[in-house]
Amino acid sequence: MTRAQDILLTDLYQLTMLQGYYQQGMDDIAAFEFFVRKLPPGRNFFVAAGLAQVLEYLQGLHFEPQELDWLRQSGRFDEDFIDHLSQWRFLGDVEAMAEGTLFFPDEPILRVVAPIDQAQLVESRVINILHFQSLIASKAVRCVLAAPDKLLVDFGMRRAHGGEAALWAARACYLAGFAGSSTVQAGVLYGVPVFGTMAHSFVQAHEVEQQAFAHFALAQRDNAVLLIDTYDTERGAQRVVELAAELKQQGITIKAVRLDSGDLAEHARRVRRILDSGGLSEVKIFSSGNLDEYALHDLLAQGAPIDGFGIGTRLDTSADAPYLDCAYKIQEYAGTPRRKRSEGKATWPGRKQVYRRFDNGVMGGDLITTLSATDSGEALLQPAMRAGQIVTPQPNLEQSRQRLYTQLDSLPPALRGLKAVAYPVEVSESLHLLARQLDSEVH
């Protein structure tokens, strides 16, 4: 992987456009906003995530000499322009919704205000960061809502799309209310609690399953979660019962068993009976394998006696909606609002604010409006960066997680389910008027 601030982790056209701006002396202030155009099928809202990484990326962003060399050698850029880039810094302002904020289509969750070359160049990576973390947080929170009293752990590292996706998915899941992740490095980097069980290979490396269980319990005396489906799930459970007495004499208590295949609800019921009748009612049942919010909902609706879930691939790839239709669009340049009018992709022009109204503590509706207008309710976009410096204090991950908890408490109950229910988002009259004005102009 490369360093977080890799400034060449961008689309080539950002640099060719910058050369155009430079040659024309275009250095007025531009405002770009990031928003999502529409909800994926079955979804009710999004969760804002990734702002911390965006700010970390922007602060101090600059070109290293070897990066300038590469650009020079590409033959696409003038020496004058390369010299100009050597002095380039990101010194703009950022307004954003705090991480953990619920948001809806067309609502800007981040605005960059800076000389146009600064606001332009960062587009690709800003989208890359905000899109993915918001995508995963928005999926993970559905798992939390589907199984609110269960231990949920992100297991998705191996099939996440590369290492950064794995790390950010772990972070986004924790932000969304998961207990933690199996990804160790997410613990190191973000303080996400890490969880682990055992793999089939550990069982298979032993001649006899029971011996594998005993060895693992010895190595994890306080924390043994035994995987019992390698050969036969119920026989595995029976072996745990037989082993438990023996281990107890050594002061070791088995914490849980894990099921990873077959009909999880049915196996869980049978395993629960085996454990209970063997005196192991304290041993938890943990489950994994092709899970997502729908599978959690179904398992719990069936009354499956499962205490915790490891949720991996379908979560870390957001398999039912692997991308959001999002954009980072110029809304103002040199003091004049701008509007893209491409078919099916028109934008709301100008700098905007989003106000959220609450009725008796419950979210009652949002208003997207021009920045000059004011409204009652909570103004969701707040300063995050000023002249290239992060506004402090920024919330840490625990605080962002807490913010989401609080937000979920005020979410209308109908929006907590897995089916799509509309939430009222209004576009202000002032914004409609501005759009009509711009549409009547000739470009």
Binders of its own copies in range 168-227 (CB under 8 A)? 168, 182-185, 187-189, 194-205, 207-209, 215-216, 218-220, 223
How near is the Cβ of 296 to its own copies at its closest, in Å?
Answer: 18
Strands 382-386 and 256-259: unpaired
Name the helix (H) or strand (E) containing 288: strand 284-288
- How large is the angle between the packed helices 397-409 and 163-175, nearest 10 degrees? 50
The C-alpha atoms of residue 253 and residue 279 are separated, in whole angstroms, by 12
Nearer to its own copies by C-beta: 350 or 363?
Answer: 350
Q: Which span (12-20, 139-147, 296-304, 356-364) binds its own copies, by CB under 8 A?
A: 12-20
Among residues 44, 118, 120, 370, which is the contact residue for its own copies, using CB under 8 A? 120
CA angle 60, 63, 69 (to 5 degrees): 165
Site for its own copies in 22-61 (CB under 8 A): 22-24, 26, 30, 32
Residues 284 and 307: beta-carbon distance below 8 Å: yes
Q: Say which residue the tokens 């799930």 belong to.
A: 233
The neighbour count for residue 149, using CB atoms within 10 Å, is 6
What 3-state class would DSSP assign to 236?
A: helix
In the complex, the smallest distance separating the C-beta of residue 418 from its own copies, rounded to whole angstroms, is: 19
| Total binding residues toward its own copies, as defined by CB under 8 A | 109
Kindly tell me which of 219 and 422 has the beta carbon lying closer to its own copies: 219
Q: What minimum distance in Å lies between the beta carbon of 364 and its own copies?
A: 32
Between 262 and 279, CB nearer to its own copies: 262
**In the complex, least distance from residue 402 CB atom to its own copies, rounded to whole angstroms:** 24
Whether the Cβ atoms of residue 62 and residue 10 lie closer than 8 Å to each other: no
Binding mask 126-155 for its own copies (x = CB under 8 A): -xxx-xx--x-------------------x
Nearer to its own copies, 19 or 407 (CB): 19
For its own copies, the closer of residues 159 and 269 by Cβ is 159
**CA dihedral in degrees (433, 434, 437, 439; nearest 10)?**
-110
Q: How far apart are CA 45 and CA 41, in angstroms?
A: 11
Please state the closest distance from residue 133 (CB atom) to its own copies, in A.
9
Distance in Å, CB of 203 to its own copies, minimum: 8
Q: Contact letters (x/-) for its own copies, 269-308, by CB under 8 A?
A: ----------------------------------------
d(CA 435, CA 119): 22
Q: How buried is 380 (Cβ within 10 angstroms: 0-12 exposed, 13-18 middle, 19+ buried)?
A: buried
Lay out the site mask for its own copies across 230-259 (x = CB under 8 A, - = otherwise): xxx---------------------------
Could you give the 3-state DSSP secondary structure of residue 157?
Answer: helix
**Residue 316 near residue 183 (C-beta atoms within 8 A):** no
Q: Kindly state the smallest distance separating residue 128's Cβ from its own copies, in Å.
A: 5
| Nearest residue (CB) to its own copies, 131 versus 403 | 131
Instruction: Rank residues 124 and 410 by Cβ distance to its own copies and give the closer one.
Output: 124
CA distance 271 to 236: 9
Do 32 and 119 meet the contact criterion of CB atoms below 8 Å apart? yes
Tokens 């007495």 sit on residue: 245
Residue with smaller CB distance to its own copies, 164 or 426:
164
Residues with Cβ within 8 Å of 52's Cβ and at least 6 positions away in sequence, in order, are 99, 394, 397, 400
| Cβ distance to its own copies smaller for residue 165 or 354 | 165
> Using CB under 8 A, which residues numbered 410 to 439 contact its own copies?
none
Selected binder of its own copies within 260, 292, 293, 366 (CB under 8 A): 260
How far is Cα 94 from Cα 349, in angstroms, rounded to an integer?
17
Q: Site residues for its own copies, window 58-87 (CB under 8 A)?
A: 67, 70, 74, 76
**Which of 47, 113, 145, 160 touches its own copies by CB under 8 A?**
160
Q: Select 167 or 173, whichever has its Cβ closest to its own copies.
A: 167
User: What are residue 210's phi and psi, to 5 degrees?
Assistant: -60, -35
